[in-house]
Amino acid sequence: MPRWKKFFPIIGKIAEIFSNHWKKTESFPTIGKKFSNHWKKVFQSLETFLVAGCVWAGGVAVAGQDAALALQLDGEKQWSQAALEFRRLALGEEDGERAAGWYWMAAREYSRAGDRKRAWKYLDRAEDADRERALELPLAWLRASQAEADKDWGSAAFFYGSLGRKAEGRDDGDGWRAAAARGEAAAHLREKDYDAALDALGALPDAGEAEASREAIRGYAARGDKRPWVGGVLGMVPGLGYAYSGEWGNMVRSMILNGLFIWAMVETAEEDQWALFGVSTFFELTWYTGSIYGGIDAAHRHNRERLEGAVRAVQGDGGAEVETGALPLVRLKFRF
C-alpha cells in the first residue's frame, strides 16, 4: 500500500472526533446554519462571477450572437441553465434596450424554474435597462404572472390592472387588454371579490367573451363551497363524508372496507379469537379515521376544483408565447 493511503484512516478519525465534539454542543445547529448560509452566498456570487467571466473571455462581443443555446435549453426544460445563457447575452450587450430584452427572458426562465427570488431580481434589471420603456407591457405582464405564481392575488390584480391601462390606445393593444382583463378578473375571483372580477371583464374587447366569463363568475358565486367540518362530521358514518362532496366512488369503497372490518371484528369476538379481533380492530380504526379525514379532504378538493374550473373559464386554456424570432425584442402572442 502506498504511504499516502495510510493517512486516510488518521484523517477520518480526526474528522470523526471533530464532528462528535461539535454535535454535543448546543451551538452546533446555529453554527451549521451560519456555515450553510455563508457558503450559499459564496456560491451565488461565484455563479455571477462565472457568468461575467464567460462574457469577458469572449471579448465582450456577445451582442452579435443569437440565443440558439438558450432556446435549446428552454426547449429541454432546463430553465435555470437557459436563464444563465440569457444573462450572459445581456452582459455582452452595449445597447440597453437589447440587454433589457435578454434580462426579461432570464426573468421568465427563472420564473418557469420556480426560482422566484431571481425572477423578481432580473425583472428589476430589465426595467432598469429599459430606459425607453419599450418593454413596458411585457414587464407588467410578467410581473403579474410572477405574482400569480407566488399566489399573491392582490398584487396580481394590481399588475394586470396596470397592464390594461398601459395597453389602452395602442394599435397592438387588443391582445394585451384581453390578457389584462382576464388575469385581473381571475385574481379577484380567487379573492372572492366577485364585483371587482365582473368589472374587470368590462375591458375585454370581445363583448361575447366578456359575457361568457361573467356567467362563469356568477355561476361560481351562486353555489357555495362545501364546509370541510361538515364533511368530517358526516364521515363518522363511513362513506357519507365522501358523498357530501360528490365523490361516489370513494363513498362505496369506504362503506365496503369499513363494513368488512366491522364484520370481521364481530365474527372474531363471537369465536373468542382475540388475536384476530385485535388485528381487525386495528385495521378498522385506520379505515374509520380515514373516513373522517377523507370527508374533510374531499370538501377541500371539491372547493379547489370548482374554483379552478371557474378560473379556467375566465382566463381560458391558452397562454402567452414568446416570438423567439424577434429576440431580443420581446413580442408575445396570446391564446385564450
The pLDDT assigned to 267 comes to: 85
In this structure, which amino acid lies at residue 267? E
- Using the 8-state DSSP alphabet, how is residue 25 labeled? S
Are the beta carbons of 298 and 247 closer than 8 angstroms? yes
- Cβ 86 vs Cβ 68: under 8 Å: no
Q: Which three cell numbers stand for residue 68?
A: 440558439
Question: CA–CA separation, 50 vs 48, rounded Å?
Answer: 5
DSSP per-residue codes, 310-324: HHHHHH-S-EEEE-G
Taken as a whole, the chain contains a residue count of 336
**pLDDT, position 66:** 63
Residue 320 phi/psi, 5-degree rounding, is -115, 140
> What is the predicted pLDDT for the residue at 99?
92
Which of 61, 55, 64, 105 has the alpha carbon at shortest distance from 81? 105
Q: Who contacts 183 (Cβ-Cβ below 8 Å, separation ≥6)?
A: 144, 145, 148, 156, 157, 160, 163, 315
Q: DSSP letters of 258-289?
A: HHHHHHHHHHHHHTT-HHHHHHHHHHHHHHHH
* pLDDT, tens digit only, all 336 positions of the chain: 444 344 445 444 544 544 454 344 444 444 444 444 544 443 444 444 434 444 333 333 343 346 889 899 989 999 999 999 999 999 988 888 899 999 999 999 999 999 999 999 999 999 999 888 888 999 999 999 999 999 999 999 999 999 999 988 787 778 888 899 999 999 999 999 999 999 999 888 778 888 889 999 999 999 889 999 999 999 999 999 999 999 999 999 999 988 888 888 888 888 888 888 888 888 888 888 888 999 999 999 999 999 999 999 898 877 788 888 888 888 888 777
The pLDDT of residue 29 is 44
Q: Let me know if 11 is exposed, middle or buried by CB neighbors in 10 A (0-12, 13-18, 19+).
A: exposed
Q: What is the dihedral of CA 58, 63, 68, 70, to 10 degrees?
A: 80
3-state secondary structure of 328: coil
Contacts 24+ apart (CB under 8 A), 143-147: 144/180, 144/183, 145/111, 145/183, 146/107, 146/111, 146/116, 146/119, 146/120
Specify the pLDDT at position 160: 93
166 near 132, Cβ under 8 Å? no
Q: Taking Cα atoms as reference points, which of 139, 143, 226, 151 lies closest to residue 187?
A: 151
pLDDT of residue 16: 53
Q: How many CA atoms does the CB half-sphere of 34 hold within 13 Å?
A: 4
- Alpha carbon 208 to its chain centroid, in Å, reads 31
| pTM of model > 0.75 | no
Query: Distance (Å, rounded) from C-alpha 218 to C-alpha 206?
Result: 19
- Measured CA to CA in angstroms, residue 11 lies from 6, 14, 85 at distances of 9, 5, 41
Residue whose C-alpha cell reads 372490518 in the numeric block: 261
Contact 141, 332 (CB under 8 A): yes
Looking at residue 155, what is its pLDDT? 94
Q: Give the span between the Cα atoms of 336 and 204, in whole angstroms.
A: 12
Q: Which pLDDT score is estimated for 87?
A: 93
What pLDDT score was predicted for residue 324? Answer: 80
pLDDT of residue 52: 41
